[in-house]
């Protein structure tokens, strides 16, 4: 696996965990006021997903599984 693929997988895993945290607790892994936005907005923008937080989480979780990421214990 190339370095770029490893970085992309780490990004996906981090965003998935961050969105799950936001849904469960209301806390943000990223600052919503910064240029990058929230995990939710980054996932929607970068991966073209639509819907509310839970539906985007579920769609993104499936994407993560399809690329071979371990997402056990991270269901919302």
> Above 80 in pLDDT, residue 72?
no
- Nearest-10 crossing angle of helices 53-66, 39-47: 60
Lowest mean pLDDT among 25-29, 43-47, 60-64: 25-29
How far, in Å, CA of 74 to CA of 76, rounded?
A: 7
Other CB atoms within 10 A of residue 19 CB: 26
d(CA 19, CA 39) in angstroms, rounded, equals: 6
Domain boundaries, the chain: 30-68
* HSE-up of residue 59 (Cα within 13 Å, Cβ side): 13
Res 68 pLDDT > 60: yes
pLDDT in the model for residue 73: 62
Q: In this model, does residue 75 exceed pLDDT 70?
A: no
pTM: 0.86
Joined together, the tokens standing for residue 76 give: 């919302």
pLDDT over 90 at 46, yes or no: yes
């Amino acid at each position: 696996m190339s370095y770029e693929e490893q970085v992309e997988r780490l990004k996906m895993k981090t965003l998935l965990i961050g969105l799950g945290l936001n849904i469960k607790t209301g806390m943000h892994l990223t600052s919503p006021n910064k240029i990058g936005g929230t995990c939710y907005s980054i996932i929607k923008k970068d991966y073209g997903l639509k819907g509310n937080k839970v539906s985007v989480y579920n769609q993104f979780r499936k994407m993560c599984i399809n690329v071979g990421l371990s997402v056990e214990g991270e269901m919302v």
